[in-house]
Amino acid sequence: MSQAPNTVELDEHLREVVTALHRAVNYATPHVGEPKIVDKAIRDCKEILEVVMEGNVAEWVR
């Protein structure tokens, strides 16, 4: 059975996205009392998630 187009590429892209989100959250969580660190992490997560929510897969796997 043939694999669907971009199966591996999308898998790898989303793996990187998830890693980036976890990295931001895991770094900020012990520093939750330090607004500069936490606010940056939340901004970074927001930026990453906005791209995921747009779902422009063609752009991601280009």
Q: Which is nearer to other proteins, 11 or 62 (CB)?
A: 11
Contact residues for other proteins, defined by CB under 8 A: 1-8, 10-11, 14-15, 17-18, 21-22, 24-25, 28-29, 32, 35, 38-39, 41-42, 45-46, 49, 52-57
For residues 3, 20, 48 and 8, what is the CA-based torsion angle, rounded to 10 degrees?
A: -10
Question: Cβ of residue 12: shortest distance to other proteins, in angstroms?
Answer: 9
Q: Which is nearer to other proteins, 55 or 62 (CB)?
A: 55
Long-range contacts of the stretch 52-58 (C-beta < 8 A, 24+): 52/14, 52/17, 57/6, 57/10
